[in-house]
Amino acid sequence: MELIEAMRSQNACRYYRPDPVPEGVFYAAVEAARFGPQGGNRQPVRFLIVTDVDKKRQLAEWYLVPWKAYFAAASAGEESLTAGSGDEKATTITMTNPHKALADADNFADHFGEHPAIVVVLADIANTHPTDTDLGRLSIVGGASVYPAAQNFCLALRDQGVATTLTTLLCMYEPQVKELLGIPEELSTAAFIVAGYPVKAFPTKLFRRPVEEIAFLNGLDRPLTKG
């Protein structure tokens, strides 16, 4: 499939068929994902694919705790509280059909342990190179060596007809997750990607802010236009 088509239709899928994703499909996705940019070519990212029923069930138990807290707040109208893949989730709930989006996300959470695969994106923090640790705010730069590979992975799965949803809620349970899955001390959890074949066809249109609201030229007072 064309790259732009994949980028424009790679949504956060909430409903998956029970069919397992073949190991070869994951292999092909990782083979492509590993070319994501990272500082100094240190290659800190690892992918741990979890299909074991009992392990998925335990991950689901942990996932539901923070999700249900978010769900209760969002249901009460406190949509500024964010969860999972960040502000995009709250924005989507607010700006599209809020009831349907929230209900779909809740259904996704209730069946979290039943999804075909949960891919743990791991990072060797020592092999990232954050340059913003002294700015007096939350450091985010280290993720530049991690999340491009995660996005490549999702796009490579999309190319093979596999849907995904990226969440970070389970990072709150990193010590427990590492013990459950035998993850060594030097690796940290960066994201969890649910993967499987979607129940419905991929969307043809996703809601996103227009270019003029997110891109600017030489200053934030001049929106980027087609010219």
75 pLDDT higher than 90: no
> At residue 88, does pLDDT exceed 90?
no
Looking at the predicted structure, is the pLDDT value of residue 93 above 50? no
Domains assigned to the chain? 3-214 (3.40.109.10)
Q: What is the pLDDT of residues 118-172, one digit of tens each?
A: 999 999 999 998 999 999 999 999 999 999 999 999 999 999 999 999 999 999 9
* 86, pLDDT greater than 50: no
Residue 41 in this model has a pLDDT that exceeds 60: yes
Q: pTM value?
A: 0.89
Give residues with Cβ within 8 angstroms of 197, minimum separation 6: 16, 17, 19, 21, 116, 161, 162, 163
Structural tokens at position 135: 């700015």
C-alpha span between 22 and 66 (Å, rounded) = 31
Give strand pairing partners of 198: 16
Report angle CA 181, 31, 85 to the nearest 5 degrees.
55
Q: What CA–CA distances, in Å, run from 68 to 82, 169, 170?
A: 12, 11, 13
pLDDT given at position 150: 98
Q: What is the mean pLDDT of residues 198-226?
A: 95
Check whether 105 has a pLDDT greater than 60. yes
Who wins on pLDDT, 56 or 95?
56
Local confidence band at 81 (pLDDT 50, 70, 90 cut-offs): very low
How much is the pLDDT for 76?
86
Q: Which of 134, 189, 137 is nearest to 166 (CA)?
A: 189
Whether the predicted pLDDT of 92 surpasses 60: no
Using the predicted structure, report yes or no on whether residue 195 has a pLDDT greater than 80. Answer: yes
Q: Is the pLDDT of residue 79 over 50?
A: no
* pLDDT at residue 1, as a whole number: 86
pLDDT at 85 over 60: no
User: What are the start-end ranges of the H helices in the chain?
Assistant: 3-9, 23-33, 53-75, 87-95, 98-110, 147-159, 174-181, 211-214
β partners of residue 12 = 164
pLDDT tens digits, 29-39: 999 999 999 88
pLDDT tens for each residue of 43-72: 999 999 999 999 999 999 999 999 999 999
Calpha distance 45→97 (Å, rounded):
35
Summary mean pLDDT of the chain:
91
Q: Which two tokens stand for residue 162?
A: 């596999």
Give the confidence band of 179 by pLDDT, cuts at 50, 70, 90. very high
